[in-house]
Chain A
Amino acid sequence: MTRTPLRPLARILDARAKGENPDLIERENLRQRHEVMRDKAIGRARFRLGILSVSFAVAFAAIGLRMGYMSSETPMEPKSEAGASSIQAMRSDIVDREGRILATNMLTNSLYVQTADMVDPPRVAHELAALFPELSEEDLLRRFTDGRSFLWIRKMLSPEQQQAVHDIGDPGLLFGPREMRLYPNGNLAAHILGGASFGDEGVASAELIGVAGIEKALDLRLRDPAQAGVPLELTIDLTLQATMEEVLGAGMTMMQAKGAAGILMNVQTGEILAMASLPDFDPNDRPSPIVAKGADPADSPLFNRAVQGVYELGSTFKIFAAAQAMELGLVNPDTQIDTSSLQIGKKRITEFDGHNYGPTKSVAEIMEVSSNIGTGHIALMIGAERQQAFLTSLGLLEASPVELIEAPGAKPLRPARWPDIVTVTASFGHGISSSPLNLAAAYASVANGGIRVSPTLLKRTEAMKGIRVISPSVSRDAVDMLRRVVVSGTATLADVPGYRVGGKTGTADKPRPGGGYYTDRVVNTFAGVFPTDNPQYVLIVTMDEPSGTSGGGEVRSTAGWTAVPVAGEMIKRMAPLMGMVPVVETPPENEITAVKN
């Protein structure tokens, strides 16, 4: 195209001869060539434009046909975000250590409405409102008729309710299969299990997710499709749990306490065999977690006192001071300690109820009578730094590692600074708060020969191996002291014949929210170990604000009168269940034995 055209020389010469302008000829020539080229281009373009038009027409027709084909298909039901029906039957069961069911799934139905299929909305609204008192007729009718095509009525129906809804007989009422979480034992172990509710919902199925307790803490394990058929085995023993809750509940009523907690733990493995907190709730129908304004969230039945409750546990801490002092070689059980007076700065340490235990007592006697002054002197011998290190090594100053979602939130309260006065008060469990579960683990560590125990709800077959906190001989001495407290000290009501119980009482004034302490509100704790000749179990019983008279005339709010008898009753009932054989002390001959049943 860019080639310069040859001039038709003959015509140009001819034109020149005639005196005409030869450029015109050249231009005419160019025009003709251009014309030919353009006609060719038009012909080609015409063909190609035809191809383009046909292609577009075919493409649009294809889209139209495809659209028509799709329109004639039946649509699927509205899908849940999580999609497929595979979310059904996925949550593992939870069983106790013997394989008894604690939590399982049950097939039920949800109720939903496709308004387009509904024949008689006013009648359906009327009948549904009659069936389910929580639904209002006007509201239902408004929702049926405001133009939406789909709405949920209820998440779950009982079989009777389902039949009743079925009998209404309207085609717009539809049932969606649902797996619901069922806790067949009701309130039993409610705080451990927590509860579950629906996550993503679709018509065909809904996802179950844990909302509290172990259901939430191990949610991923329970939802893991690979382990769907494998139940989650807990350390809880259903019979022990039931016994503990029954005795604890009776004790709480009798002592008129506002709450109570109990823990039974294996000292070797840290397995929790039973753990209860009262008041409790039914995980099948979890109460609302919203606390009324001004109310203490710790008074909600959802509150797990054994794990979340952070209390001053009082004199139960004294054994830790004694054990550490013996471990450090500062004292032995018979070392005489000053019990006459103790003054730190301006603060004077006194005994409970103004008792006076004389000028000196041995370490074992100090535990037996629970002397604050004597324990304070021992603590001063140990010193602040070593005391903190020891309490930390027992796990008393950190949140419990147990497998409950609530556990990490319950951080023990400890003073920011640790002067001598704190060293002294901490030695008898004041000015420092921890949870009953932490106390159970610490007692287990002291009683099992000195190996640190971390509490668990998941089965652990072997004894804890790990950090040694005290030597076996010190452990032996400490357990003997605890036995002495029960035999002749402050906890005699826990001395169940044949099971050689040892333990320590603790009574602490409750701290006021604004600072200082209440004079009339206490927390009573008993920390027990049995059998003392070969420690196997730790039992903690805590009573929150007992105000009863325990049968006597005056209000008896020391642990010896509240937590201890409850613990004694528990051991009396639970030890046989655990297969422990009582050591029958043959009564000396010629003595009359009173048999009471």
Chain B
Amino acid sequence: MTEMVYGSMPARALEPIIPRWWRTIDKWSMTAVMVLFGIGLLLGLAASVPLASRNNLDPYYYVQKQALFGSLAMLVMAGTSMMSPQMIRRLGIMGFGIAVLALMALPFIGQDHGKGAVRWLSIGGFSLQPSEFLKPCFIIVTAWLMAAAQEVNGPPGKVMSLVITIIVSLFLAMQPDFGQTMLILFGWSVIYFVAGAPMMLIFSVVAAVVMAGFTSYNLSDHFARRIDAFLNPEVDPRSQIGYAVNAIQEGGFFGVGLGQGQVKWILPDAHTDFIIAVAAEEYGLVLVALILALFCTVIVRSLLRLTKERDPFARLAGSGLACIFGVQAMINMGVAVRLLPAKGMTLPFISYGGSSVIAAGLTVGMLLALTRSRPQGQMSDLFGRRGR
């Protein structure tokens, strides 16, 4: 007997969570990320040994640690990718609140890990870098505000998100951590761009940046020197970049062989900022090309899948996450090949770092959740209840 009650929830043909997740997730991107993480462990075997020997630890101490954090990151990624866009939004907003509080607490209880910047919080023996977790959560919040602004009678989301962006950037710049500041500003710009920034504005901003660049080049000696050094085809072989370039040349197409690399012993940041140089030296162009292809797969596939997305929040948040993930990888590798001026930035999933890999897991998990294939428009539009 069928009992029909007025106003009751419509019964949904419930598909079990895991099969539905498997059916709707972007399997290519997920596989690419897992392979990237595997490559990260493989390179950690090479690149973190000098660090361990400098700190008088077991040679594979950092590899074991990274494997532990990496597994955690994979769990975080899988768990997050099973969430619905609403859940992601809630998670992001709560996470943003916590991360901003932690960021504000840094000047008082933060720690300096020897680079002249206070970036770490120590909790129960673990060091956490709040700014890593702040990035994906910030993207979610910004996308939420921008999407809300697109509603009829919506709040002034653009202005609000801009204010938040500026405040967060100031906190990051205070640490100082200009790399993360740049990423935050870039993330906001991308979301604004996808949300429909007027073309006039984009062109005038580009023009203003170029003008500002010329002015500072002419007025500031420091700035001019850095740019000259970057433009100069002769690279100083004693600089970090010099060693990285030499390592890439040593590696050639197929590398000098497992564990034969030298650059990891020379560069203090071989396991983080210059991991790609270690990859190029020991495994050659082959592995570097694979890494590039994997990153490219994740980003381009995610962005293309998002073109089909009709929900503005999912679209904006997804493109923001994909772009900061991609840009971080791009800057890291662009520096090593001297396409970009020197700027310290980790390579997501590949560089060593607990906070970095877990935050990357969170970022990609959210991205995968937002790029899952969902019924787009047709049915929900017909029934007039769109998920928002």
Contact = CB atoms under 8 A, between A and B. Distances in A.
A42 B309 CA distance: 8
A49 to B, nearest CB: 5
Contacts of A59: 330, 334
Given A70-B248, A76-B249, A34 B288 contact: no
Interface stretch (A50-58, A371-379, A427-435, A506-514): A50-58
Nearest to B196: A44
A149 B250 CA distance: 12
Nearest to A81: B238
A525 B299 CA distance: 88
Q: Is the interface of A mostly helix, strand, loop or mixed?
A: helix
B306 interface: yes
Contact of B193 (A1, A35, A48, A149): A48
Contacts of B260: 147, 149
A70 B247 CA distance: 10
A2 B237 CA distance: 59
B280 interface: yes
Interface string B274-315: 000000100011001100100110011001101100101001
Contacts of A52: 190, 193-194, 303, 319, 323
Interface of B: 149-154, 190, 193-196, 236-238, 245-246, 248-253, 256, 259-260, 262, 280, 284-285, 288-289, 292, 295-296, 299-300, 303-304, 306-307, 310, 312, 315, 319, 323, 326, 330, 333-334, 337-339, 381, 384
Contacts of B196: 41, 44-45, 48
B249 A56 contact: no
Contacts of A41: 150, 195-196, 312
Interface in A42-93: 42, 44-46, 48-50, 52-53, 56-57, 59-64, 66-68, 70-76, 78-79, 81, 83
A73 B250 CA distance: 9
A71 B238 CA distance: 19
A50 B194 CA distance: 10
Given A57-B296, A75-B246, 16 more contacts: A1-B149, A31-B384, A38-B310, A41-B195, A52-B194, A53-B304, A57-B300, A60-B295, A63-B292, A64-B288, A67-B288, A71-B252, A71-B280, A75-B250, A76-B237, A79-B238
Contacts of A5: 152
Contacts of B319: 45, 49, 52
Interface of A: 1-2, 4-5, 30-31, 33-35, 37-38, 41-42, 44-46, 48-50, 52-53, 56-57, 59-64, 66-68, 70-76, 78-79, 81, 83, 147, 149
A42 B238 contact: no
Contact of A34 (B151, B262, B285, B326): B151
A206 to B, nearest CB: 16
B357 to A, nearest CB: 21
B301 to A, nearest CB: 9
Nearest to A65: B337
A34 B330 CA distance: 37
A71 B248 contact: yes
Nearest to B190: A52
Contacts of B190: 52
A46 B304 CA distance: 8
A76 B242 CA distance: 11
A60 B331 CA distance: 10
A45 B307 contact: yes
Contact of B333 (A1, A4, A31, A63): A63
Contacts of B149: 1
Q: Choose among A50, A60, A76 the residue with the greatest number of B CB atoms under 10 Å from its CB.
A: A60
Contact of A53 (B237, B251, B300, B334): B300
Contacts of A78: 262
Contacts of A83: 236-238
A30 B256 contact: no
Given A38-B150, A38-B312, A76-B246, A70 B337 contact: yes
A359 B289 CA distance: 105
Contacts of B245: 70
B267 to A, nearest CB: 14
Contacts of A79: 237-238, 246
Nearest to A34: B152
A56 B299 contact: yes
A70 B194 contact: no
Contacts of B384: 31
Given A33-B152, A37-B150, A56 B237 contact: no
A147 B152 contact: no
B248 A49 contact: no
A149 B260 CA distance: 8
